[in-house]
Structure 1
Amino acid sequence: MQKFRFLMIPAVALFLAASVSAHATQLDRSVTKNGMTIHFGIVPAERAQAVEGSASAPTEAVSAPARGSYHLVVALYDKASGARIDDAAVTAKVTRPGPKSGPKVQVKALQPLKVNDTVTYGNYFDMPWQGRYRIDLSIKRKDSIDATKVRVTYDQQF
């Protein structure tokens, strides 16, 4: 039951708001573009690991979380039918704020995570600094020639 609660908290946060804009703000974590509704969320690594423990995920393909690590999770839906999209290839490019030392950009494939017959996509990113992170998503649907490009932002507050 404890693992289910960890899953529900991020899931509820992901699906509260929907936007018709191609740019998501801190309060609406949804974007609609090219016939897809894209919900995203950022979860501390410890909470994401609790959910992954009860899910079927390709753990060898997901990078291990480090201190200051957060899990980016993305859920995709077909706008017309409302059906979940579970066969896409998703890549995220996370650009950190400010002129701090260390890598400024991280690019990773988001791996499918299946929980209770639903698929989300995610991976761990280092987000140890306060400020606005830019997240560029590239989503390639199985039946599409071109990828959909979406930029969202996440304002990291401690």
Structure 2
Amino acid sequence: MLKLTKFLILMAVGLLTLASSGAFADQLNRSVTNGGLTVHFGIVPAEKAQSVARGASEPVEHASAPDLSNYHLVVALFDKATGERISDATVNATVTGPKPKSHSGMQVKPLQELKVNDTVTYGNYFEMPWPGRYRIDLSITRKGSVKPTKVRLTYDHHL
């Protein structure tokens, strides 16, 4: 229960930080529905996410965020038809920055399973050094599925 409380506090602090910095203003709806999935997502500065990471069961390499241009992307997956949380998927993310293609800094990473009590989300750290619109393409493969579901998220990043 203590881990869940820490996680919820971190998410609240992260959302308040984003709201006060203006980054949240254009991001009132952070949910996308596609291919029978509903994806809720959030992005918080790495230093905020690390305080929760110490209490969550996640790989050590995921818990380290080396510099201040890093942000933590976290997604929660739900079955659109039943509303049930999906906790057995493989998720990969491609994050493309707002700069011209030659400077986009496209990053491709798996999203690690983050488990706090019985709640599963998926996340990883990404560099977001420039202000502007980031495109986040998710490839989600549910257990027992061969074909992944593709979901595109957009995030307006303000420094």
> Given the two structures, how large is their TM-score scaled by the length of structure 2?
0.81
Displacement of 1:115 in angstroms is 0.9
Say whether residues 1:6 and 2:9 are aligned partners.
yes
1:101-156 per-position Cα deviation (integer Å, ceiling 9, x unaligned): 75620000000000121000000000011111110010000121200011111000
Q: Aligned runs of 1:27-42 on 2, under 5 Å?
A: 27-42=28-43
TM-aligned CA distance change 1:78 to 1:10, over 3 Å: farther
TM-aligned CA distance change 1:12 to 1:136, over 3 Å: same
Question: For residue 22 of structure 1, what is the aligned residue in structure 2?
Answer: none
Structure 1: unaligned runs, 5 residues or longer = 14-24
Which amino acid letter does the alignment assign opposite residue 64 of structure 1?
Answer: S
Displacement of 1:54 in angstroms is 0.9
Displacement of 1:27 in angstroms is 2.4
Q: What SS does the aligned partner of 1:81 have? A: coil
2: CA distance between counterparts of 1:141 and 1:116? 21
Which amino acid letter does the alignment assign opposite residue 90 of structure 1?
Answer: V
| Larger helix share, 1 or 2 | 2
2: CA distance between counterparts of 1:82 and 1:45? 29
Which amino acid letter does the alignment assign opposite residue 9 of structure 1?
Answer: A
Asked if structure 2 preserves the Cα contact closer than 8 Å seen for 1:6 and 1:50, the reply is no
Q: What SS does the aligned partner of 2:29 have? A: coil
Name the % identity.
Answer: 62
1: CA distance between counterparts of 2:7 and 2:87? 21
TM-aligned CA distance change 1:90 to 1:11, over 3 Å: farther
Displacement of 1:33 in angstroms is 1.3
Say whether residues 1:152 and 2:157 are aligned partners.
no
Which amino acid letter does the alignment assign opposite residue 155 of structure 1?
Answer: D
Aligned CA RMSD, in angstroms, stands at: 2.5
Displacement of 1:34 in angstroms is 1.5
1: CA distance between counterparts of 2:108 and 2:88? 20
TM-aligned CA distance change 1:4 to 1:33, over 3 Å: closer
> Given the two structures, how large is their TM-score scaled by the length of structure 1?
0.82
